[in-house]
């Protein structure tokens, strides 16, 4: 048996409405499940398409996150432009720092404290 490509990452969250507003409205991800208009406050499971992998939100988190918790990393053409746009949408982002030659990163957290970063060129 060969394990296939990573298909989906599941984040356990407490407040679906706040998390959907963050991932859909602030990060700009497209919800693929449920389809169409839905009420996040009445939904237990939402899936977003990131292009290469899906991010699923599941109600039931207990906020037991620490420094070594998993972190989502999103590729962007320009970390500076992405960071500025996210800050403009109300997302708190850390300063930009280099991680290797020509590659930069800026990090933030979602409403439940799940960590994410944008990585790419400056």
CATH of the domain at 84: 3.10.180.10
pTM value is 0.90
Q: List, in order, residues 6 or more apart from 96 with CB less than 8 Å away.
A: 79, 80, 83, 104, 105, 106, 122
**Residues 25, 81 share a domain:** no
pLDDT digits (tens, 9 = 90+) for 47-64: 999 999 999 999 997 778
Q: What is the pLDDT of residues 62-82, one digit of tens each?
A: 778 787 788 999 999 999 999
Let me know whether 94 and 115 are in one domain. Answer: yes
Report how far residue 104's alpha carbon sits from residue 100's, in angstroms, rounded to the nearest whole number. 7
Q: What distance in Å separates the CA atoms of residue 62 and residue 58, rounded to the nearest whole number? A: 11
What is the C-alpha to C-alpha distance for residues 119 and 100, in angstroms, rounded to an integer? 11
């Amino acid at each position: 048996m060969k394990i296939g490509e990573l298909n989906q990452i599941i984040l356990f969250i407490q407040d679906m409405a706040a998390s959907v507003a963050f991932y859909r409205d602030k990060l700009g991800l497209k919800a693929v499940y449920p389809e169409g208009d839905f009420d996040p406050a009445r939904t237990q499971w939402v899936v977003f398409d990131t292009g290469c992998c899906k991010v699923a939100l599941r109600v039931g988190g207990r906020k037991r996150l620490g420094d070594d918790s998993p972190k989502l990393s999103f590729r962007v053409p320009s970390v500076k432009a992405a960071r500025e746009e996210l800050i403009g949408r109300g997302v708190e982002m850390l300063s930009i720092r280099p991680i290797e030659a020509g590659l930069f990163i800026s990090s933030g957290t979602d409403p439940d404290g799940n960590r994410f970063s944008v990585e790419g060129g400056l």
